[in-house]
Structure 1
Amino acid sequence: MDDQASHNSFVRRCFAVLAIVALAAVILALGNLLLLIFASLVVAVILRAIARQFMRFGLPQGLSVTLAVLALFALLGSVAWVFGGLIITQFAALAVRIPEAIDATQVAFDSWGIDYDVRQASRDIMAQISGLSRRAGSFAVSAGGAVTNVILVLAGAIFFAAQPELYREGLLRLIPKEREALARKTCDDIGRALGLWLRAQILSSFIVGILIYVALKIIGVPSAAALAIIAALLDFIPFIGPVFAGIPAVLVAFSVSPVTAAWTLGVYVLIQQLQGNILQPIIQKRSVDLSPAVLLFAVVAAGSLFGIVGILLSAPLTVVGFVLVQRVYIEQVLQKEPKRPAGGASAE
């Protein structure tokens, strides 16, 4: 009996490894398309969260999702109407100030005897960004451009949000019957983890943006609103995002004075510490317990495989990967108790 049990356990492990390898091959072959689908699912989670507020009044699911879409567009339109002129002006000014700031920083470094080519470093950074863009750009060109991809993501999100049970049940029909219960629990965990992560991350980004804006206005850094928006958006990218957000801010501050640049660097370091030691643990507590090293290398891996799109989606991709590892490998292969979203233990 022991030999038979060991044999069965070995076979299960082999099948698990083969399944992981096959899944990795499919992801690499259809990476860009799968990223579009995943982006639609992430947006669908947002729409479902908004639609749930309308469902509380007894409205049908389809109507609630429609109202959620209208509410989201109304919110974005209102922000653009009220702040659009200011944002465009600040970003235009920022685009003009960046080259001037690079030259001012180079002059300051030369006067201090610091042998560092800031201009070359800026060109290297732009080359890296262009490389990432080209890595994700071939699919965008073949599919009709970035605008087409955005429309596809929004359309897919509306369909997913309007009838999530239809697509989930269709997916579950592809799963062997003896594994259907596991797949159902995994889908539930993924949906819950993504929803919790999104809500906490949006709150974190909002707080970071407000803090950056207030601090830069106090210091006297130009284009504070544009720099705060950049910081809030890049906060969605763990670790790497805040670093890249601080580079243009420090350069612009150098165009004012080295002292302003030093204060700006201190502000970004302080807020990064606040985000990493207070806001990020809150996000993990309300979604999944991911270690900082896992998040960091997930960003690097996603960027290497899928370019900028992969970097933007690296955090939710890691959340989904964590749930899959817990349910498929930890629970089924190792026969251990899996961790569930929001730090809870499995409650079968």
Structure 2
Amino acid sequence: MADNDTQRATPGYGRVAAMTVMVLAIVGAAWLLVSMMRLVLLVFAATTIAVLFSAVANRIERWTRLPRGLALALSVILLLGTVIGIFYAFGAQLAQQFDTIQEQIPAAFQAVQRQLDSWGLGEPSRELLTQGSSDLSTIMSRAGGYALSIGSGLSDAVLVLVGAIFLAADPELYRRGLVTLVPPKAEGVARKAVDDAAGGLRGWMKGEAVAIIVVAVLTGAGLSLLGVPAAIGLGLIAGLMDIVPFVGPIIAGVPAVLLAFTQSPSTALWTIVLFLIVQQIQGNILQPIVQKHAVDVPPAVLLFSVIGMGLLFGFIGVLLAAPLTIVVFVLVQRIYVQALLGRDITVATDKVKEEE
């Protein structure tokens, strides 16, 4: 009788042991993923740049009928040459503009403090501005340390660039590799999801390239007309910060408004109006273009993804938050909502095909 009870109890212990091993495996995999998250982000950054290289190479290949390798080499030279050429042509002027920003920020804080005194807003506001001035001065004084930190990250940048070239050289190879990791019945869904993610990234980069140029030109020109110091540098900051949804324009607007206070409070007010107008153009004209060719991600999702990625991974997380959110959103739509739940969806690649 006791032997029978022991035999019946044994499978129960086996199930507990199996579940324990499974839980430990899941926890271990999660821990390994978190500990390697920096590498994962670098791989994603390389993938994003590879999508850009591949898109330009595809255009060159169609227009010139050149072999894939030569078309890719031309695309890399074209894109890197454009970036290097811009910095070579305007580097000295931009460096002077950023030096002006650094030098005049303390004076801008003092001008704001004097204006608050004249308005009678009280000591708390002055203490807040004093603390902000101290923090900003500390950041500026540590610019050399930040430059060294950036220099130490050049190896990561080279790794990302080389990885992007390898990925763009034969994207079908890596696409097939990802698809073979799923069961045969799910290969069609996985292939479609990978294609949608790549299409979403291409559309996002096209839209953002246009948005960066338009925002930088409009902001720089507007600040120049208002007589704000370092208008070109501030315009460049505004354009580049447009990559970061919602938070970027606010960050870009703070130094512009502060420097405008060195001219007059009315100039600062008109600077705020300028940024609001530019953001209205960006939100009502440029953003729909981005969403038309990329993915219409809900604004709250983008906002919290930027904040969360920034808290978890710092600057690189903020920089990659938007494209990573787009990829995850597309995968959730295609794999979970459509394949598992059986609901109809429309992603960016479907909308583009319908228009064509």
TM-score by length of 2: 0.83
**Is residue 130 of structure 2 the alignment partner of residue 119 of structure 1?**
yes
Deviations 1:57-108, CA, capped at 9 Å, x for gaps: 1111111111111112221222122211111111111111112212221222
Q: Distance in 1 between matches of 2:157 and 2:117?
A: 45
**Which residue type is aligned with residue 158 of structure 1?**
I
In structure 2, the CA distance between the partners of 1:340 and 1:43, relative to structure 1 (3 Å rule), is: same
CA shift, 1:123, in A, is: 4.8
User: For 1:114, what is the secondary structure of its paired residue?
Assistant: coil
Q: Distance in 2 between matches of 1:205 and 1:345?
A: 23
**Is residue 189 of structure 2 the alignment partner of residue 178 of structure 1?**
no
In structure 2, the CA distance between the partners of 1:151 and 1:55, relative to structure 1 (3 Å rule), is: same
Q: Which moved more, 1:50-59 or 1:180-189?
A: 50-59
Q: Which moved more, 1:242-251 or 1:174-183?
A: 174-183
Provide the aligned length of Structure 1 versus Structure 2. Answer: 322
Which 5+ residue runs of structure 2 have no aligned equivalent?
1-22, 141-145
Map 1:30-109 to 2 at 5 A: 30-56=36-62, 57-109=64-116
**Which residue type is aligned with residue 51 of structure 1?**
A
Map 1:235-246 to 2 at 5 A: 235-246=242-253
CA contact (8 A) 1:337 1:346 kept: no
Q: Distance in 2 between matches of 1:345 and 1:280?
A: 16
Map 1:1-348 to 2 at 5 A: 27-56=33-62, 57-115=64-122, 116=125, 117-123=128-134, 145-342=152-349, 344=351
Which 5+ residue runs of structure 1 have no aligned equivalent?
1-17, 130-136
CA contact (8 A) 1:45 1:191 kept: yes
**Which residue type is aligned with residue 47 of structure 2?**
L
CA contact (8 A) 1:219 1:264 kept: yes
Structure with larger RCO (C-alpha < 8 A, sep 6+): 1
Deviations 1:189-214, CA, capped at 9 Å, x for gaps: 00111001110111011111110011
Q: Distance in 1 between matches of 2:212 and 2:98?
A: 19
Q: Higher Cα Rg: structure 1 or 2?
A: 2
List structure 1 segments (4+ residues) > 4 angstroms apart after TM superposition. 20-27, 122-129
Q: Which moved more, 1:26-35 or 1:37-46?
A: 26-35
Q: Distance in 2 between matches of 1:277 and 1:260?
A: 25
Percent of paired sites with the same residue: 42
CA shift, 1:311, in A, is: 0.7
CA contact (8 A) 2:106 2:137 kept: no
CA shift, 1:344, in A, is: 2.9
Deviations 1:139-191, CA, capped at 9 Å, x for gaps: x98x9921111111111111111111122222222222221111111110001
User: For 1:59, what is the secondary structure of its paired residue?
Assistant: coil
After superposition, the CA RMSD in angstroms is: 2.9
Q: Distance in 1 between matches of 2:53 and 2:334?
A: 26
CA shift, 1:53, in A, is: 2.6
CA contact (8 A) 1:338 1:346 kept: no
Q: Which moved more, 1:230-239 or 1:20-29?
A: 20-29
**Which residue type is aligned with residue 66 of structure 2?**
L
Q: Distance in 1 between matches of 2:129 and 2:74?
A: 50
